[in-house]
Amino acid sequence: MTSTAKYTDQSARRRLRREVPSAAAVLADEQDFRAMSRYRTFPFDDHRSYLRQMENLLRTLASQGVLTTLSLFDPVAFEKYCADLTLDPDRPDSRSRYTAEVARTGATLTYQGEPLHRLLPLLVEEADRQATWDHASAVLARAGDCPECGDDLARAAFARATQALQQLLEALGSGTHHLVCSVAAGDPSLLAVLHATAQEGARLQLAESDTLVFCTVLAAGFALRTPGGIVSRTTTGYDTTTGYDTTGDPAHDTVRGWSLRDGWPRALSAAEVFTAYCTDAETGEPIPPEHGVDHAPGLPLTPPPDPHHHG
């Protein structure tokens, strides 16, 4: 083989390498790292050093034009994966197979050159979002079909949840809204968070993935008629550079609340909102109210007809 042909082959392989994506699963916290350190073939003994090496590898791949999908490495899930497939967990190829599986089925982000310490919280957030959606979907699936008409109750509940969220955001109006929906279905309880920004004359801004999870959790509460609630915290006219509203006064927030009753959010009174927001959920002890936060009654939302509430 001539040197020219060899160079051409190497160049072709480099170009081809850019066509083949990579996957990496990272141990995000010290506890998970320690769990993997018990394996003899695991080549690291210091979490910080491990993260530095991982970031160097990711940067090298990115510099070569290689697209890398990043996911979280869960030692507990890895152990179960190996047990299910009768794999030896103390082998590098078992870890590689698990990484490929997580990249295919789990929460992922594409590495684009960010520092790993900034990317990992986003990856954890994405994993939590997917876990909540998976849990809520499984709970919602238990609703089954309407015994009277045979309709899919999960589908009907999701449509109803979408209507409820739309009404709620319209009622809240302009501002930056932080919504939390909690439903006592399963262990742990379902919890979804949604951020929305509404400005007069502008399109409502909210993340599609968060909206999907929020509506799925809310639908689970509707379908199973389980206890739950929604809390909104709204900031209006806030300037992020000054911390003041458009009138020059210090910005303040308004908190409102709804409880889930009979398959619909029912507005709480201002006193009920204050009690719910200023009580420690673990101990039941009162919590001092935050300065600059108003506790207002929930806004009434009109329930649509429920075709599956057969009389």
The pLDDT value recorded for residue 281 is: 66
The pLDDT value recorded for residue 180 is: 94
- CA-nearest of 78, 33, 36, 35 to 52 is 33
- CB-CB contact of 32 with 73 (8 Å): yes
The pLDDT value recorded for residue 311 is: 46
Q: What is the pLDDT along the chain (311 residues), one digit of tens a residue?
A: 454 444 466 666 666 656 677 999 999 999 999 999 999 999 999 999 999 999 999 999 999 888 999 999 999 999 999 999 999 999 999 999 999 999 999 999 999 999 999 999 999 999 999 999 999 998 888 877 666 766 778 888 999 999 999 999 999 998 999 999 999 887 778 999 999 998 877 788 999 999 999 999 999 999 888 899 999 999 986 554 444 555 556 667 999 999 999 889 999 999 999 988 877 666 767 788 788 889 999 999 999 876 655 54
- CB-CB contact of 169 with 198 (8 Å): yes
The pLDDT value recorded for residue 60 is: 92
Helices (H), 179-243: 208-224
Strands of the sheet containing 22-26, edge to edge, are 22-26, 68-72, 108-110
One-letter identity of residue 7: Y
The pLDDT value recorded for residue 183 is: 93
CA distance 55 to 73: 15
CA distance 34 to 27: 9
Token duo for residue 43: 């080549």
CB atoms within 10 A of CB 277: 18
One-character DSSP codes across 63-89: HTT--EEEEE--HHHHHHHHHHTT--T
The pLDDT value recorded for residue 246 is: 53
The pLDDT value recorded for residue 147 is: 65
Residue with tokens 């073939």: 41
The pLDDT value recorded for residue 289 is: 78
